[in-house]
């Protein structure tokens, strides 16, 4: 065991736990694999919401209240764009915009998303590697009672209001998973794989939808520990519970566990939560999941790592 940990993460909840893990692990021991299914092109700019939330959070630049975007953000660009009649449903802060413009410029010049992401995290002094799940294009789309919607159309423009009947991860079937993900899952010295408390259907499923990822997780010698995004049966943030209900899944930690059936060794759940459905062959570990303070994040990270070390697949 070399102490290296990889975490699969989406946006805000994933970033909070990633920050906790980064603070209790040795510098550079953590690699975060970021969902890119939420990525989109807006106003001609390549926007990667989950990568950016992870980057800003790990750099200490995230807005402390909303958890995404930059602290001390200003909105002069948006005000001027509105004056020009541009699209304003997706809000881009003046500071945040620098990242989108710089990324788009470099992608057009032929750099990969992973190279751009790596350069940015280095410039911002982030020790944790942040790796897009793939450099290929994967786009999450939702079939709703208003028809098929692109993810951000559903999530931001329509505020998750439409009822969802189906979710598709376009391009995932042909996407090449990130080298860091494939190598880590095959690494017999890896300490743990952590599935962060992100939406399993929107944030983690695109990662799992890529060829070979489920098999690599199932066959990984390191323990795979997931953290429930639900507390008291409700999502801390976002549409997880609503989506699970609309898609006919058990709304609760049992439903979360079933999303990861055959892949995980344990699921960390909040003290009040219990699976309603039939038992599943994983460990259910109680832990305080609400991550309000930085100490909360560190404590949860410690609990995740303790569970991993106890459940090491090599131990058997």
174 part of the interface to its own copies, by CB under 8 A: no
Q: Does 39 bind its own copies (CB under 8 A)?
A: no
Nearer Cβ to its own copies, position 29 or 124?
A: 124
> Among 4, 70, 249, 297, which residue interacts with its own copies (rule: CB under 8 A)?
70
* Maximum C-alpha span of the chain: 65
Taking CB under 8 A as the criterion, the residue among 8, 15, 54, 99 binding its own copies is 99
Cα separation, 51 vs 99, in Å, equals 11
Q: Does 85 bind its own copies (CB under 8 A)?
A: yes
Q: How many residues bind to its own copies according to rule CB under 8 A?
A: 32
Residues 6+ positions from 43 with CB-CB distance below 8 Å: 81, 86, 87, 92
The C-alpha atoms of residue 56 and residue 52 are separated, in whole angstroms, by 6
Q: How far is the CB of 75 from its own copies (least distance, A)?
A: 8
- CA distances in angstroms from 178 to 100, 114, 160, 175, 211, listed in the order given: 21, 8, 29, 9, 11
How far apart CA 178 and CA 33 sit, in angstroms, is 8
Structure tokens given for 70: 């930059």
Closest CB to its own copies among residues 108, 218 = 108
Q: What gap in Å lies between CA 201 and CA 238, rounded to an integer? A: 12
CB of 61 to its own copies, least distance (A): 9
**Whole-angstrom Cα distance, residue 223 to residue 264?**
7
227 binds its own copies (CB under 8 A): no
For 240, the token pair is: 């997880």
Q: Is 127 in the site for its own copies (CB under 8 A)?
A: no
Residues facing residue 132 across a β-bridge: 34
CB nearer to its own copies: pick between 74 and 174:
74
Q: How far is the CB of 134 from its own copies (least distance, A)?
A: 23
Q: Is 94 in the site for its own copies (CB under 8 A)?
A: yes
Is residue 176 near its own copies by the rule CB under 8 A?
no
In SS3 terms, 117-181 reads as: HHHHHHHCCCCCEEEECECCCCEEEEEECCEEEEHHHHHHHCCCCCCEEEEEEECHHHCCECHHH
Residues 1, 101, 115, 127: which binds its own copies (CB under 8 A)?
A: 101
- 123 contacts its own copies (rule: CB under 8 A): yes
With CB under 8 A as the contact rule, the residue among 27, 83, 278, 281 that binds its own copies is 83
Q: Is 105 in the site for its own copies (CB under 8 A)?
A: yes
Q: Give whichever of 107 and 247 is closer to its own copies, judged by the CB atom.
A: 107
Residues that bind its own copies (CB under 8 A): 43-45, 70, 73-74, 76-81, 83-86, 93-99, 101-102, 104-105, 108, 119-120, 123-124
């Amino acid at each position: 065991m070399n102490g290296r940990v990889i975490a699969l993460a989406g946006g805000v909840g994933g970033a909070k736990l990633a920050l906790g893990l980064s603070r209790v692990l040795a510098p550079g021991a953590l690699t975060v694999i970021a969902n890119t299914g939420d990525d989109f092109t807006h106003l001609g700019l390549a926007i990667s919401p989950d990568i950016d939330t992870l980057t800003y959070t790990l750099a200490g630049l995230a807005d402390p209240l909303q958890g995404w975007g930059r602290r001390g953000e200003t909105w002069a660009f948006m005000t001027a764009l509105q004056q020009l009649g541009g699209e304003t449903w997706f809000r881009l802060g003046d500071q945040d915009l620098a990242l989108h413009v710089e990324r788009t410029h470099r992608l057009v010049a032929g750099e990969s998303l992973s190279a751009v992401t790596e350069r940015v995290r280095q410039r911002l002094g982030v020790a944790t590697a942040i790796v897009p799940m793939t450099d290929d294009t994967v786009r999450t789309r939702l079939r709703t009672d208003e028809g098929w919607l692109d993810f951000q159309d559903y999530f931001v423009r329509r505020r998750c209001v439409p009822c969802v009947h189906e979710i598709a991860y376009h391009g995932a079937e042909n996407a090449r998973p990130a080298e860091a993900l494939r190598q880590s899952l095959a690494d017999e010295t890896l300490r743990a794989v952590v599935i962060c408390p992100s939406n399993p259907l929107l944030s983690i499923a695109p990662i799992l939808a890529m060829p070979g990822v489920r098999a690599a997780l199932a066959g990984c010698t390191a323990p795979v520990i997931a953290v429930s995004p639900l507390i008291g049966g409700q999502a801390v943030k976002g549409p997880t519970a609503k989506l699970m209900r609309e898609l006919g899944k058990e709304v609760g930690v049992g439903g979360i566990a079933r999303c990861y059936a055959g892949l995980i060794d344990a699921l960390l759940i909040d003290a009040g939560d219990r699976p309603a459905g039939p038992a599943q062959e994983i460990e259910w570990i109680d832990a305080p999941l609400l991550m309000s303070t930085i100490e909360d994040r560190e404590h949860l990270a410690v609990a995740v790592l303790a569970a991993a070390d106890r459940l090491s697949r090599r131990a058997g």
